[in-house]
Amino acid sequence: MKVQIRDYSCWQYGLDANGGSYGYKETAVLEKGQIVDGQHWTTADFGFCRNCGSFETDVARHQEEWECTKYIPSRSMEFVAKMIARRRGWRWARREFETRWPEAELLFN
């Protein structure tokens, strides 16, 4: 199952690349409720680590120094995975997610 979290609550046209009003997206692949892979994404035009979701001027150096070589899920993605793993279902996970993070959108494939 693919799970995607989108947060465009601060996004503004014309400011979305380098003006401070960015959109964010995180996609994870879940198998039996466990996160097995994923990546982070942003509309910003700056160095950005797709593994951990942090802004970095030198992404390669960041990944080497911090051993950031694989996907690190956000707390919100970990929450969704736990809800699915507990067999509560994706509908229940979506309802709980929207209660905690009303500005974000949760999608399932």
Q: Distances from the Cα of 2 to the Cαs of 41, 61, 74, in angstroms?
A: 15, 29, 15
pTM for the whole structure: 0.80
Position with higher pLDDT, 14 vs 105: 105
What pLDDT, on the 0 to 100 scale, is given for residue 16? 66
Instruction: State the CB neighbour count (10 A cutoff) for residue 88.
Output: 14
Mean pLDDT of the 64-78 span = 91
Instruction: Give the pLDDT mean for 65-82.
Output: 90
Report the mean per-residue pLDDT for the chain.
86
Q: Which domain holds residue 15?
A: 2-108
Q: What is the pLDDT of residues 9-61, one digit of tens each?
A: 887 787 766 777 788 999 999 988 789 999 999 888 888 899 999 988 899 99
- Total number of domains constituting the chain: 1
